[in-house]
């Protein structure tokens, strides 16, 4: 009888919630892996920055420092998004409790708000769109407006605060050789061959970070 009901009416409310919870756990692990990849790439970039500082290559060091700043901001977004996935999981657990009492799923503005925010993260956008549509059909969410489905918001503060933050990162990573307090120091000039080698190595490191940041 249960199999017949599932065939005729689809999954039960409890089965739907269990399925969404499983998807949330999967996406949370995906974000954890990406955070780990960023940590690994950052560690390599910081080591390269120290080498560039020793060689006095301020130009390439600053370019690489900008990528480190971008990856820091990306990690912050991923940590916040992981927390939001967890919050939806908690809300769904409350839904399970309500199903046992009322026999049906309840509308949740909190789940809708969190889902709208998570859809903007490219890494999990497709899965969250699908889940949101399923939750809308199940009566948990209202249909989302098109403007809430746009891509990840631009970060205007990055441009405004970039130079100050990059200088700070440079100063911290290079132990004061470059950056805010090191801006006025005399650094040895690079010969053309060494500068070309540094440019190639820096481009490789920058490409690695960019591939992670592009999601």
Nearest-angstrom CA–CA distance, 84 and 142: 19
User: Coil, helix or strand for 139?
Assistant: coil
User: Coil, helix or strand for 92?
Assistant: helix
Write down the pLDDT at residue 195.
52
Q: How far is CA 168 from CA 24, 30, 70, 72, 173, in A?
A: 36, 31, 14, 13, 9
Write down the pLDDT at residue 210.
63
> 45 and 67 in contact (C-beta within 8 Å)?
yes
Q: List per-residue pLDDT tens for the chain, 215 residues long.
A: 445 445 455 688 899 999 999 999 999 999 999 999 999 998 998 888 888 888 888 888 888 888 888 888 999 999 999 999 999 999 999 999 988 888 888 999 999 999 999 999 998 999 999 999 999 999 898 876 554 444 444 455 545 556 777 888 888 887 777 766 444 344 444 455 545 545 565 566 566 666 666 55
pTM: predicted TM-score of the whole model, two decimal places: 0.74
Write down the pLDDT at residue 160.
53
Write down the pLDDT at residue 18.
93
Write down the pLDDT at residue 152.
42
Write down the pLDDT at residue 3.
52
Write down the pLDDT at residue 110.
94
Phi then psi dihedrals of residue 197, to 5 deg: -60, -45
Write down the pLDDT at residue 25.
96
> 134 and 30 in contact (C-beta within 8 Å)?
no
Write down the pLDDT at residue 189.
47
Nearest-angstrom CA–CA distance, 89 and 42: 30
Closest CA to 139 of 97, 111, 120: 111
Write down the pLDDT at residue 150.
47
Dihedral Cα 64, 67, 72, 75, nearest 10 deg = -130
């Amino acid at each position: 009888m249960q199999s017949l009901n599932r065939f005729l009416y689809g999954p039960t409310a409890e089965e739907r919630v269990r399925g969404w919870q499983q998807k949330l756990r999967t996406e949370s692990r995906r974000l954890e892996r990406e955070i780990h990849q960023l940590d690994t790439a950052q560690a390599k970039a910081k080591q390269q920055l120290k080498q560039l500082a020793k060689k006095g290559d301020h130009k390439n060091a600053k370019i690489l420092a900008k990528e480190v700043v971008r990856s820091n901001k990306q990690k912050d977004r991923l940590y916040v998004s992981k927390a939001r996935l967890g919050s939806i999981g908690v809300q769904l657990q409350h839904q399970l409790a309500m199903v046992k009492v009322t026999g049906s799923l309840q509308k949740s503005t909190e789940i809708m708000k969190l889902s709208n925010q998570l859809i903007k993260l490219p890494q999990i956008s497709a899965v969250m769109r699908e889940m949101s549509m399923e939750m809308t059909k199940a009566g948990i969410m209202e249909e989302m407006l098109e403007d809430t489905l746009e891509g990840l918001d631009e970060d205007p503060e990055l441009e405004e605060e970039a130079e100050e933050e990059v200088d700070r990162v440079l100063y911290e990573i290079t132990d004061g050789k470059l950056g805010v307090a090191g801006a006025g120091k005399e650094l040895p000039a690079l010969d053309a061959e060494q500068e070309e080698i540094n440019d190639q190595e820096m481009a490789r490191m920058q490409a690695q970070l960019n591939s992670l940041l592009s999601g």
